[in-house]
């Protein structure tokens, strides 16, 4: 057997038994898939835990209000004070308050579309879901009110925010397409129709009429021009603007019409520049596209 034939025979043998040379690659792929599956399950468990936490938190708040004859804010303050004692050492009250509000934002969505939908979330983290605006949540809720048995396939790249934009651009079409992923529609799928612009006719000195016809038939397709998003001055917009404007504030919780803010430790009220008691916070109210925040001494309007 010649050297060339031996080499060819060796290569053929390797390809006849791919596990012998590709096993390491296969193991890496499988480990990556397993890690992804574990991450998905961990994320779903986190979402479920936060939703369950809010349900139990609300229940305990009502029980405290009844048992101790106190208001909602006082009851929540007592819960926070006692929770801190049970959590890992070093847990700060502000951290707990912010985490509770984040959990409440997560629960706001699944309370309306169903806790059972959590098992269909495979791409989006708890953080991304907690950052949905009221209008984005309502878009998803509106979809499920018309399609109650629809799952949440999100096996394509994209964001929840893009999903809202896609549906708002052509809601009727989206509602009629069961196979279109809800949460993961991408901007790449949203195209803006543009009229074809014919190229100027170029004369052909050779007299080839068929060639000139081909030139006439060519069109220039203009790429879609990115359209600026319309900024909606809703309650979420003003709430975020207030937090950006006053970084020593944090949102404790929200009721139907009022947002309640706390002041970070060792800082004075940003409105009146005075020190508040623990039970005195700042309230925000959204009225007719205007937003006002006030403390016991002062009230200001958050300007868009």
- Are 137 and 118 within one domain? no
- Are 113 and 142 within one domain? no
| Burial status of residue 27 (CB atoms within 10 A of its CB: 0-12, 13-18, 19 or more) | exposed
In a domain, 16, yes or no: no
Domain of residue 80 covers 21-131
- Are 218 and 241 within one domain? no
Question: Which of 131, 153, 169 is the last residue before a domain boundary?
Answer: 131
In a domain, 11, yes or no: no
Q: Which secondary-structure segment (H or E) carries 49? A: helix 19-68
Reported as a single tens digit per residue, the pLDDT across 63-117 is 999 999 999 989 999 999 999 999 999 998 888 988 998 999 999 999 988 998 8
Question: Which of 80, 100, 131 is the last residue before a domain boundary?
Answer: 131
In a domain, 13, yes or no: no
What is residue 275's three-state secondary structure? coil
- Are 117 and 210 within one domain? no
Please give the pLDDT value at position 171. Answer: 42
Bigger pLDDT: 24 vs 140: 24
- Are 98 and 154 within one domain? no
- Are 173 and 259 within one domain? no
Bigger pLDDT: 188 vs 259: 259
- 218 pLDDT band (50/70/90 cuts)? very low
Is residue 221 predicted with pLDDT exceeding 70?
A: no
In a domain, 47, yes or no: yes
In a domain, 227, yes or no: no
Reported as a single tens digit per residue, the pLDDT across 135-175 is 888 887 887 778 766 655 453 444 444 544 444 444 444 33
- Are 35 and 123 within one domain? yes
Is residue 237 predicted with pLDDT exceeding 80?
A: yes
Which tokens is 152 given? 């949440």
Bigger pLDDT: 14 vs 111: 111
- Are 110 and 31 within one domain? yes
Sheet with 299-302, side-by-side order of all strands: 249-254, 258-263, 282-287, 290-294, 299-302
Reported as a single tens digit per residue, the pLDDT across 277-288 is 655 678 898 887
- Structurally, the chain folds into a number of domains equal to 4
In a domain, 146, yes or no: yes
- Are 182 and 199 within one domain? no
- Are 206 and 240 within one domain? no
Poorest-confidence range of 7-11, 141-145, 229-233? 7-11
Q: CA nearest 42: which of 158, 126, 134? A: 126
- Are 287 and 211 within one domain? no
Tell me the pTM.
0.54
Reported as a single tens digit per residue, the pLDDT across 240-250 is 888 888 888 88
In a domain, 3, yes or no: no
In a domain, 14, yes or no: no
Residue-averaged pLDDT of the chain: 73
Bigger pLDDT: 236 vs 2: 236
- Are 124 and 171 within one domain? no
Please state, as a whole number, how many other Cβ atoms lie within 10 Å of the Cβ of residue 49: 13
């Amino acid at each position: 057997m010649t050297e060339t034939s031996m080499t060819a025979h060796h290569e053929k043998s390797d390809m006849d038994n791919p596990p012998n040379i590709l096993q390491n690659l296969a193991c890496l792929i499988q480990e990556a898939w397993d890690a992804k599956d574990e991450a998905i399950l961990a994320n779903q468990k986190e979402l479920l835990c936060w939703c369950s936490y809010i349900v139990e938190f609300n229940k305990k708040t009502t029980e405290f209000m009844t048992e101790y004859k106190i208001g909602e804010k006082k009851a929540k303050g007592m819960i926070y004070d006692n929770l801190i004692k049970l959590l890992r050492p070093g847990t700060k009250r502000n951290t707990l308050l912010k985490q509770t509000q984040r959990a409440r934002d997560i629960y706001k969505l699944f309370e309306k579309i169903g806790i059972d939908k959590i098992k269909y979330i495979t791409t989006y983290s708890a953080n991304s879901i907690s950052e949905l605006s009221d209008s984005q949540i309502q878009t998803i809720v509106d979809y499920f009110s018309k399609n109650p048995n629809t799952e949440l396939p999100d096996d394509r790249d994209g964001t929840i925010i893009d999903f809202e934009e896609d549906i708002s651009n052509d809601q009727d079409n989206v509602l009629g397409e069961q196979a279109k992923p809800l949460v993961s529609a991408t901007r790449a799928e949203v195209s803006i129709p543009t009229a074809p612009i014919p190229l100027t006719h170029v004369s052909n000195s050779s007299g080839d009429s068929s060639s000139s016809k081909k030139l006439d038939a060519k069109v220039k397709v203009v790429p879609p021009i990115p359209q600026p998003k319309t900024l909606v001055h809703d309650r979420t917009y003003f709430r975020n603007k207030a937090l950006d404007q006053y970084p020593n504030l944090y949102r404790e919780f929200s009721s139907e019409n009022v947002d309640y803010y706390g002041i970070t430790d060792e800082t004075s009220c940003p409105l009146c520049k005075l020190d508040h008691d623990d039970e005195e916070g700042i309230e925000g109210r959204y009225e007719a596209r205007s937003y006002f925040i006030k403390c016991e001494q002062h009230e200001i309007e958050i300007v868009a």
